[in-house]
Structure 1
Amino acid sequence: MKFSEYVYKRPNVEEIGNKLQTLIEEFGKSDAKRQIEIMYEFFEFTDDFGSMATIASIRHSIDTKDEFYIEEQKYLDENGPLLQNYFYGFSMLAFNSPHRKELKKEFGTHFFEQIEVGLKAFDEKMIPLMIEENKLSTEYDKLIASAQIEFNGKTYTLMQMSPFLQHKDREIRHKAQLKVSGFFEENEAKIDEIYDNLVKVRHEMALAKGYENFIELGYYRMGRTDYNSEDVYKYREQIKEVVVPAVSKLHRRKAKRLGIKDLKSYDTINFLSGNPTPKGNKDELVNAAKVMYKEMSKETDEFFTFMLKHDLFDLESKPGKRGGGYCTYIPSYESPFIFANFNGTSHDVDVLTHEAGHAFQVYSSRHHIPSQRWPGMEGAEIHSMSMEFFAWPWIPLFFKEDSEKYYFSHLSSTISFLPYGALVDEFQHEVYKNPHLTSAERKETWRRLEKIYLPNKDYGDDHFMEKGTYWFRQGHIFSSPFYYIDYTLAQVLAFQYWILNREDHKKAWESYYKLCTLGGTKGFVGLIKESGLNNPFVDGTIKKTIKPLMEFLDSIDDMKL
């Protein structure tokens, strides 16, 4: 059965609520054996609802103008949070069950750690605020998807502008950046208003739960069970100390390579001959991925064959389609799904490695209970980013003569990403610590932090970006607060797989596959320990990890690329 044939039926939230309430009432009166059975029944309901919500969300993402799925998304945004109350009530009962010992034996210790964090993240009083938050987040997505940018006589979406932003011709890049900036400037007041309301709503949620501000609540919502904002602060300090100077060194090499004395923010290319580009259309790239996953391992071959058989991709960019890319999971069909916007850049190959890494992980742990199919966000990104590195031996299938360029570009750009990711995180900590900042003060905060983490960023004549608005385009800041640092944490661990894979491929793959099958059965730090990786929160880890990467880049004569 193809994804297009997967059945969508609007979930009756009231009916589901009544059934869940019946289970909750029975649970309180049951012995250990029956409580375990009820929990599995409960998981079945959450999977059924989750499947419908996910199918609707995917189809709405594919065409944000489709009236049917606009209505379904609206219904789910408004009614989905109403079920939270039942999940909360059920979690409370399981957490406080007199049969907890037996339940723990069946579902594991981490299941109860997850419940505890979930209880800390939710309160019935928050439901109207959650509904409002969903609406605001959807409003931002729609605004970004609505972009119609006139450029060189044609109209483009934001994603479709990417090739111009990476064009060999510097003036085309410059004009493209100003055009993209122009879209955000035209919508400045609207974006300011959406974000201002999101900050207020989230702060109100935190107060309703008795927290000082949204930071603590935000961490609980992310399901973080074994580290806190203090750990992340220490980690960001390592980024400032070790990675910012390393990136400045890469910046100087790039200026020399491009022959441009004063690099501007639109100098996004890595080479005068242009950035590496994939050789082939969508179908050719997917076929190359098929060959790669067949040769990589029997596990990846089985997984990718399943994805192709059920048509679990939507890859081409088109008007009305939501921007960005993601991987999600439809429990009722045991199907991962990959959503992307191909644009002719190396990003297209990243989708077939990065998003496929997510899909491979959830496929490998699909038989776990719902809350443990995925790890926490930071754990989930390890699989996707590491898969990008495990794909290196097959890169010539995608990039042909541009392969060497890709290797240099991939490694240098992922190192360069770490300070930006830490900047996004520190900005959000500042915003939620000071929820009453004005829109202008938020922009000033962004630009101040940007100068610390990205000291070489020069916007030139782009005055709108210069005032601190680059974050307008960073969707995670709007929809997934505190998520973004997870990409950097995972990147550090993926770098460790890059190092290990060069030393001992068998050992690296065994560790990686084990990590995939563990899913979310442990917290982030627990997964690191289980797979034998070094903890990024521990002082010295970043230095130890970055050193061999920089040595590899130093060994390449980039002036010849």
Structure 2
Amino acid sequence: MKFSEMKYQRPDLETVKRDMLRLIDEFEAATTPEAALDAVQDLNRLRMDFQTMFELAYIRNSVDTRDEFYKTEKAFFDEASPEIEALETRLRKALIASPHRRSLEERLGRQWFRLAEVQTRSFGDEIVEDMQKVNARVTDYNHLVASARIPFGGDTYNLSQMVKFTESTDRETRENAVRAMYGFFAEHGDAFDEIYDDLVRMRTAMAQKLGYENFVQMGYDRMSRTDYGPKETQAFREAIRKHIVPLAAEIREKQRERLGLSSLRIYDVSLWYRDGNAHPQGDPAFILANGRRMYQELSPETDAFFQYMLDHELMDLLSREGKRVGGYCTFIPNHKAPFIFANFNGTLGDVTVLTHEAGHAFQAYQSRDMKLPEYFFPTAEAAEIDSMSMEFFTWKWMPLFFQEEADKFFYTHLAERVVSVAYMAAVDEFQHAVYEHPEMTPAERKAKWRELERTYMHRGDEFYEGLPYLQEGGLWQRQLHIYNYPFYYIDYALAQVCALQYFLWMQDDPTKAWESYLRLCSLGGSRSFLELVGEAGLRSPFDESTLADVVPRIQDALAQLEARLPS
């Protein structure tokens, strides 16, 4: 069934709740493992019915945030989802306490029960109303960002469409574009502060109601992290400061020299070459046609996957007025269908977002027959290995998209992946500071962000010269994860270290690297993060020796790629 043909019908919430309660009672009363398994399977079918309708409403609201029908349906799920989670929490408690747990673990895997344990800790009936309010404020943030109408050069653009102007070879154009983009955030700065104030206050209150000291550990539990915690991520950030930050600074210095500037400003960092960045040498139809060829040639599995996505209208890629910013991949359970959402804007990112989100979608496609909805995707940091690694596995085909600018692409792509890790660590440390000190004022939060920018990205006062909103520390307000998905960002850095290992493995033994990746995707979410890393034959990012060994090889690869750049 094509996406446009997928029928949406709002679930009858009371019926869903009644049926879930009945099936949970059946599970708790089961006298044999078989009876317990039957109840679980019926419950999961019911949960997937609800999730299917949620995803259809979510996607269609993302595609056009102005559509009143799906705006209303998204609001319905903002209210309904916490009530369903309350029942899912009761199911998880029953799973943990079940006398048939050992037998069920053998059939369904231990990971479901580990997830149940951390998810049960982070939810209670007493926070349902708080969660509904949080969901509403998150929606307020997304709608505010999507509402941007930025006059520029005689036309009007949304934030995604403005990105291409920040890569102009004309410095004045770049500066004006950045001023216009962040002018929108500055204009609405009080609203962004107010939304985040509410979110921090409400999330902290929820955590304390559940017995947490603050929201930090609750945030980790809600991210379903079963084999590491704040202590491990702190050590990982320290390793990033030691090994990645110096290389990122070196990359930026070479960029400054290449551009012939006395110093880099915020409006310079998106331009890598004086004569312009690498760009796809065609329109979106050109990108899709070459994407089809790329996945056809990469492997039989990717060939079948991408044709399925095309045949079933499972990608919405063009930026339009009213469309939510960003990109994501999600999964529609009853149709066993991944869905890719993106905002093409004529930049290099059009290709990388396609390969990135296709990595998520390919993994979900490979594990679409999993018996548990929790296994369609792995936890976030493991899921990002699938997406970030696909970006590297498709390098061989980048000349199709970039033609004579392919060498520019290769260097920029790898360099950006390195410098992004430092930014990811800054975002993570920022969130720890905020939720460890929820009493921070907006000004104090911004001051903390500026401190972290100096630490991880060496951004001094001159970097934002003439842009007071950014000089005061407002840049983080554009990072939707901070509002939407607290503590979901170090995941990208953890995954990037694994993806860089795949990049190096491909140089040594591409066949073995691809076989490992296929196995990783096929496991879906049936293992924890560190178990998946081990199953794939990768090294743990939490081991400092991993970065110590990977970074010098990446530095060498960058030097070789830089030597190939046009003079």
Give 1:220's aligned residue: 221
Q: Who is 1:477 aligned against?
A: 482
Deviations 1:89-133 (A, max 9, x none): 111111101111111111111111111111111111110111011
What secondary structure is seen at the aligned counterpart in 2 of 1:19? helix
Partners in 2 of 1:559 and 1:289 — Cα distance? 25
- Matched with 1:25 is 25
Task: Show the counterpart of 1:408.
Answer: 411
Q: What letter is aligned with 2:447?
A: E
Three-state SS of the structure 2 residue aligned to 1:510 is helix
- The correspondence of residues 448-527 of structure 1 with structure 2, limited to 5 A, is 448-456=451-459, 458-527=463-532
User: CA offset at residue 184 of structure 1?
Assistant: 0.6
1:377 equivalenced with 2:373 (yes/no):
no
The percent identity for this pair of structures is 43
Equivalent residue number for residue 364 of structure 1: 366
Classify the secondary structure of the residue corresponding to 1:560. Answer: coil
Matches within 5 A, 1:178-327: 178-267=179-268, 268-327=270-329
How far off is 1:12 after superposition? 0.9
1:86: how far off? 1.0
Find the aligned partners of 1:42 and 1:501 in 2 and give their Cα distance.
42
Conserved 8 A contact 2:329-2:338:
yes
Report the equivalent of 2:61: 60
**How far, CA to CA, are the matches of 2:431 and 2:22 in structure 1?**
41
2:391 corresponds to: 388
How far apart are the structure 2 equivalents of 1:317 and 1:122?
Answer: 36
SS in 2 for 1:339: strand
List alignment gaps of at least 5 residues for structure 1. Answer: none
Letter in 2 for 1:171: E
CA distance in 2, matches of 1:174, 1:557: 29
What secondary structure does 2:539 align onto?
Answer: coil
One-letter code of the match for 1:131?
Q
Q: Does 1:163 find its partner at 2:164?
A: yes
Say which is worse superposed, 455-464 or 232-241, in terms of deviation: 455-464
Q: Which moved more, 1:237-246 or 1:25-34?
A: 25-34
Distance 1:255 1:543 in 2: 26
Aligned 1:92-171 pairs, distance under 5 A: 92-171=93-172
Following superposition, the deviation at residue 560 of structure 1 comes to 2.8
CA shift for structure 1 position 425 = 0.2
1:558 deviates by 6.4
- Cα distance in 1 for partners of 2:126, 2:140 equals 23
In the TM superposition, residue 456 of structure 1 has moved relative to its aligned partner by: 3.9
1:142–1:322 Cα contact (<8 Å) kept: yes
1:519 counterpart SS class: coil
Superposed CA offset, 1:277-321 (max 9, x none): 001111111110000000000000010011011010111111000
**How far does residue 28 in structure 1 lie from its aligned partner after superposition?**
1.7
Matched, 1:541 2:541: no
> Once the two structures are superposed, what CA deviation does each residue of 1:524-545 show, in whole Å capped at 9, x if it has no partner?
1111111110111112211211
Of 392, 400, 425, the match for 1:397: 400
Contact 2:318 2:343 survives alignment (8 Å): yes
Counterpart of 2:294, as a letter, is M
Asked if the contact 1:192–1:439 (Cα under 8 Å) also holds between the matched residues in 2, the reply is yes
TM-score (norm 2): 0.98
User: Partner of 1:329 in structure 2?
Assistant: 331
Partner of 1:346: 348
Q: Deviations over 1:14-46 (max 9, x none)?
A: 110000111111222112211101101111011
| Aligned equivalents of 1:499, 1:193: Cα separation in 2 | 45
1:257 touches 1:559 (CA, 8 Å); kept in 2?
A: no
Supply the distance in 1 between the matched residues of 2:81 and 2:250 (Cα, whole angstroms). 49
- 2:425 maps to which of 422, 425, 428: 422
Could you tell me whether the CA contact under 8 Å between 1:23 and 1:42 is conserved in 2? yes
For residue 446 of structure 1, the aligned residue among 436, 444, 449 is 449
For residues 508 and 326 of structure 2, the distance between their equivalents in structure 1, rounded to whole angstroms, comes to 34
- 1:529 pairs with 524, 530, 534, which one? 534
Q: Secondary structure at the match of 1:540?
A: helix
Q: 2:453, 2:459 within 8 Å by CA — same for their partners in 1?
A: no
Give structure 2 stretches of 5+ with no counterpart: none
Instruction: Report the CA distance between 1:415 and its aligned residue.
Output: 0.3
**Retained in 2: the 8 A contact 1:199–1:435?**
yes
Q: Indicate if the aligned counterparts of 1:476 and 1:484 stay in contact, CA closer than 8 A.
A: yes
Once the two structures are TM-superposed, the CA of residue 557 in structure 1 deviates from its matched residue by 2.2
CA 559–16 in structure 1, closer or farther in 2 if over 3 Å, else same: closer
Q: Return the letter of the residue paired with 2:499.
A: A
